[in-house]
Chains A and B, each alone.
Chain A
Amino acid sequence: MFFAFLIEQLLNGLQFGVMLFLMAAGLTLVFGVMGLINLAHGSLFMLGAFFCSWIAEASGSFWIGLGGGFLAAAAAGALIEFAVIRRLYDRDHLDQVLATFALILIFSEVTRWVFGDQPLYLDIPPLLSGFLPLPGGGGYPVYRLAIIVVGLLTAYGLYLLITRTRLGMRIRAGESDREMIGALGVDIRKLYTAVFALGAALAGLAGGMVGALQSVQVGMGEPVLILAFVVIVIGGIGSVKGALVASILVGLTDTLGRIFLPQAFALVLPVAEATAAGSALASVAIYLLMAAILAWRPKGLFPVNA
């Protein structure tokens, strides 16, 4: 019984981690290639979720909704890159933080305007609504397993894209020397727009998938954004591999910490105090992890020379 419970929690942690990876991959790519901190990445996640549930409701199909969320986030990403973000590449991080913070305010308010104050809900598609039996009893939701599979496939796809394709070659070249790649005749502006839209689309995909697990509302992007930042900082900013490792690390630490820390404290403390102390420690566990890793390796686990 305990074994099945452990597997369930491990899978939950993995699912959370994979979802974080979809967010973190875009952030870390954008930082690695363009040197830009994008706080508005959480808004793209939110947009993906809103468009996914809105289109799914209108069309009656989760899958069309998911595709719509993906495309809408990519389009929004390309739009803000064109209108705002490309003016920020030469600025210092301070300006980037402020401008993208302003974008968060704008996105949140416009979303509230268009979709209203009430949260939207998205149903899990019938195809994925079952449970898969676990060894040792109990079952695990197929939908969460599907998120894990999609996330891992995306990670593999990104790996292929970056190492095996022409676009990936340009992305890597852009990371190491942006003037040189421009001098070699690559339209750097289009490349940047493409990278930004790619990151936005991944965030939108994550938002759409998560939309079926939680309510879709304004402000849902910010907690995930902060966690995604923790992930890319732990992994080493600019490193997609680091983002994958760190997101799974963060996902597992957070999920397992919330379950097992209160129980661990209960061994030495009365139950009520153990729950309070355990959940307090669990909610800061990932930040402790990050502080410890940065104190040990100030450039993250997989530093990128930048």
Chain B
Amino acid sequence: MIERSRETLVNAVLAGLLLAAPLVATLLDEPFYVSLASRVAILALAGVGLNLALGYGGMVSFGHAAFFGLGGYVAGIAAFHAFEGSAFLSWPVTIGGSDQLLVVWLVAALVTALAALAIGAISLRTSGVYFIMITLAFAQMIYYLAISIPAYGGEDGLAIYLRNQLPLADSSDPLVFFFLCYGLLLLALFLSARIVAAPFGMALQCARMNEVRLATSGIAPYPIKLTAFVISAVITGIAGALFADLNGFVGPSMLSWHRSGEIMIFVILGGVGRLFGPLAGAALFILLESFIGGFTDRWQLLLGAVLLGVVLFARGGVMGLLAGRARHD
């Protein structure tokens, strides 16, 4: 129990720091750091999604950029049609664009859920390296599809001229937008914690550790894993929609395999299967990127060295260092 309370403390400190950073930045009139904090929250959210599949379910998806990018493209395409006043579909029913965040999120969740259902249904037939590679292949497919559709920018991507809006608050205010991202991150973390503690989550973790044993106790692993995969994709998809709105831009780079690798890095750097791992990982990654990137162009070299060091010498990632080893491993 000592370990557990220490992890709770670390989690609270992390969440508090992320909340405090933009408030201080606003007081100091440094809007750049507010959007940097939003970036951390969004990428952590994407990582929380992947962590559900990868950390708790043992499904090493190397294609989560597909869902991240799909969410982003939903936001981008909706805003594009709303801005132009044109229709996304005119037959058999007319579907126009939308500049409402709530609508965008709902559609992004639906689209990513459907995509994850299709991708997961096929991919989960395989396991191990084959699963890693087939998820990568599906992500590449969507990447090349996005490049080859000129109507939505093709290789150049799509600019979002006006950030999608909320009914009551002004989402174009950096601080308000940060609170949105932060709120969704906390919601996703809460949801993850509940899922993991529920019978469903127990079954999911058992599927990671010993699938045969799970099957013997009368629970089919496949539907459990597929459900978790879909939930994981939806969370990452919402993060993608937020990311597009934060940058005012969506492009194929959101779908690229580097992005999949990056989301995976957040999870592993932070600590696989640790609730706040993705937040710790994303925060460290972004800090390294923006601060080392500030004084040298060679920041990737340092990032590579840090990553290598974490894998080789600090197993369990940042959370492993800060809060001790996970209780079950």
Instruction: Write the residues of chain A forming the contact surface with B, with a CB cutoff of 8 angstroms.
Output: 31, 37, 84, 87-88, 91, 93-95, 97-99, 101-106, 108-110, 113, 222, 226, 229-230, 233, 237, 276, 279-280, 283-284, 287-288, 290-291, 294-295, 298-300
Contact = CB atoms under 8 A, between A and B. Distances in A.
Interface stretch (B27-35, B176-184, B257-265): B257-265
A99 B314 CA distance: 12
Interface in B120-160: 122, 125-130, 132-134, 136-138, 140-141, 144-145, 147-150
Given A31-B129, A37-B132, A105-B300, A99 B312 contact: yes
B144 A291 contact: no
A91 to B, nearest CB: 8
A97 B60 contact: yes
Contacts of B272: 94
A47 to B, nearest CB: 15
A95 B148 contact: no
Interface in B266-323: 268, 272, 298, 300-301, 303-305, 307-308, 310-312, 315
A68 to B, nearest CB: 24
Contacts of A288: 141
B300 A108 contact: yes
Given A229-B133, A287-B138, A291-B122, A98 B264 contact: yes
B145 A284 contact: yes
A273 B257 CA distance: 28
10 contacts: A98-B307, A104-B304, A105-B300, A105-B303, A109-B301, A230-B137, A280-B145, A291-B138, A294-B122, A298-B130
A94 B60 contact: yes
B311 A226 contact: no
B62 interface: yes
Contacts of B134: 233, 290-291, 294
Contacts of A110: 301
A237 B130 contact: yes
B136 A109 contact: no
A93 B128 contact: yes
The 4 closest A-B pairs by CB, nearest first: A105-B304, A280-B148, A102-B307, A106-B304
A49 B60 CA distance: 32
Nearest to B148: A280
Given A94-B60, A229-B136, A101 B125 contact: no
Contacts of B122: 291, 294-295
Contact of B305 (A91, A97, A106, A299): A106
Q: Is the interface of B mostly helix, strand, loop or mixed?
A: helix
A98 B132 CA distance: 13
A276 B154 CA distance: 11
Contacts of A101: 261, 264-265, 307
A57 B304 CA distance: 30
Given A237-B129, A294-B122, A109 B268 contact: no
A288 B318 CA distance: 38
A16 B300 CA distance: 31
Given A233-B133, A298-B125, A284 B141 contact: yes
Contact of A102 (B54, B138, B148, B308): B308
B298 A98 contact: no
A274 B45 CA distance: 39
Contact of B311 (A102, A284, A300): A102
A280 B146 CA distance: 9
B264 A102 contact: no
Contacts of A284: 140-141, 144-145
Contacts of B301: 105-106, 109-110, 113
Contacts of B132: 37, 93, 97
A31 B148 CA distance: 34
Contacts of B141: 284, 287-288, 291
A298 B268 CA distance: 27
Contacts of B137: 230, 233, 287, 290-291
Contacts of A94: 54, 60, 268, 272
A106 B137 CA distance: 25
Contacts of A99: 307-308, 311-312
A104 B129 CA distance: 19
A98 B265 contact: yes
Nearest to A299: B130
Contact of B148 (A108, A229, A276): A276
A265 to B, nearest CB: 13
Contact of B144 (A37, A276, A283): A283
Nearest to A229: B133
B26 to A, nearest CB: 33
B148 A279 contact: yes
